Amino acid sequence: MAWITGPVRVAAQDAARRLALASSSCAAPAREVSITKATFPTGKTLMGITPYQSRNTSYSTFVPPLCYRSSGQRSLFHAQSTAASPRHRPRFASTLSAKDDNPFGRFSRVVPTSLKLGVDPPSVESLVPSHILRPHYALSGNPSEWAVGIPIHTAESIQGCREAGQLAKEILQLGGTLVKPGVSTEEIDRILHEAIVARNAYPSPLNYMGFPKSICTSVSNVIAHGIPDHRTLEDGDILNIDITVFLNGYHGDTSATFLVGNVDKAGRDLVERTKDALDEAIAICRPGVPFNQIGKTIQRIADKYGYTISQEFSGHGIGKEFHCLPLIFHHDNEDDGEMEAGMIFTIEPMFCQGSAVGVLWPDRWTVSTADGGRSAQWEHTILVTENGAERLTG
C-alpha cells in the first residue's frame, strides 16, 4: 500500500508542496490550505467528470509537516487530502464512453458512483478473530508518529519481515487466480480476507486511517488505493491487487497488476513495462547506492516508452510499522541518503499512459488519472543485503 507523498488535487499539487516546504518540524501540525475553483480552467472536465461547477466552490488540502531523514534533509512524507461538499453537485456516472471511443485503448474507464464523502470505518471486531495479533491501529485507525531515522533491521526482524513477505506473496498469487470477467473486486477482497485470517494474520490495510477493506483493488484508470466494491470486472480491464499482511508483529507488502480477459496491446505493454521498471530498480539496490538512483532508473524506462510516473505516491520503509522511512520516489529526483545493509523498504512504481496527475474521489482514498488513461503498478518489499537486495515478497 503506497504512501501518499503529495496532494492529489489537480493544479493544487504544486501550490501545496511549496507551502509544505515552509514547515520546519516533524512535530508541526498539518495546516489547511484553501484551493478555489479559480485555480482551474473554467468548465474543466476530467475523465468525463465536471468536478467543480462554481468558481466559488472551495476544496481543502491538508499540507503535512516535514520529517527529517537521518542525513538531516527534510522530506515530505504525507499529504492527506480532504474535500468539503460542493455547492453544486458534480456529475458522476458509473460508466463512461464506449470502449471504441477511448483514445487510450479498448477498456471501460471507472468513475465514482457515489457523492458520499469519506467511507464508513470497518468493524474490525467482527471481521478479525480475537486470537489474531493486530497492529496497534486496528481499532483506532490511528497510525504511529514516524520515527526520525531509517531502521536497520536485526536478524530477528529480518526473519519476521521475510515470513510476512512470503505470506503476502502467497495471498497475492491466490488473488491472481480470482481475476476474471464477471467477478467483483469485493468478492476478491472477501476471499483474500478469509485466507489471511485463516493463516493467523491481520490484513494490514483494514482500518488503517479508516480504510474499509482488507486489500486495495485499482482498476484500469485508478492509480492507487482503490476500494473493493460491487463493480464486476470486465473483459479488457487491468487490475492491481495490493496486499499487505501483519504476521507475528511484522508487515509484508506486495502488489501486481493482472490482465482481465482479453487486454489490448497498449494495456499489456503498460503492465509489462511497469514490471520491467520494478525489476531493473531492484537490480541496482545494494549498500552505498543513493536512494535517488531508484527513481532515476525507473524514469529512464518510463521515458523510453513514453509513459508518465505518478509522483503522488512513494515506496516506504516497512517492518513493525506499516509505513516508515525511507521514502522511495519512483521518478527522477535528487533526494539524499544512501542504502545500507539491513534496510527494508518497498519499491512500487506506477506508470500512466497519459497524464500522471491524480484526482481524489469523494471516498477520499481512490485516486484515478485526470485524463482517464490507464495506470499499472508492481511492488516488492526488499531487504538491502551486503551484496545486493533480497525480494522478501519474491
pLDDT band at 318 (very low <50, low <70, confident <90, very high): very high
Residue 49 has pLDDT above 60, yes or no: no
Is 264 annotated as contributing to ligand binding? no
Indicate the range of 81-85, 125-129, 173-177 predicted with least confidence: 81-85
CATH topology of domain 92-391: Creatine Amidinohydrolase (3.90.230)
Residue 316 has pLDDT above 50, yes or no: yes
Domain ranges of the chain: 92-391
Task: Report the 10 Å Cβ neighbour count for 62.
Answer: 16
What average pLDDT does the chain have?
81
Residue 129 has pLDDT above 90, yes or no: yes
CA atoms within 13 A on the CB side of 202: 27
The SS3 assignment for 277 reads helix
Average pLDDT over residues 206-223: 98
Q: Answer whether the bond into residue 326 is a cis peptide, omega within 30°.
A: yes
The whole-angstrom separation of Cα 192 and Cα 122 is 16
Q: In what order do the strands lie in the sheet with 367-369?
A: 222-224, 367-369, 358-360
Is 225 annotated as contributing to ligand binding? yes
Percent of all residues in the chain with a pLDDT value above 70, rounded to a whole number: 76
More confident residue, 90 or 262: 262
For residue 270, give Cα distances in angstroms to 252, 309, 316, 349, 355. Answer: 25, 12, 23, 12, 14
Is 253 annotated as contributing to ligand binding? yes
Q: In angstroms, how far is CA 21 from the centroid of its own chain? A: 23
What predicted TM-score, i.e. pTM, was given to this entire model?
0.79
Is 323 annotated as contributing to ligand binding? yes
Amino acid letter, residue 60: S
Phi-psi domain of 299 (left: phi exceeds 0; alpha: psi -120 through 50; beta: other): alpha
At 336 the pLDDT is 92
Task: Report the 10 Å Cβ neighbour count for 6.
Answer: 23
Is 379 annotated as contributing to ligand binding? yes
pLDDT band at 196 (very low <50, low <70, confident <90, very high): very high
| Residue with the three cell numbers 509513459 | 307
At 99 the pLDDT is 64
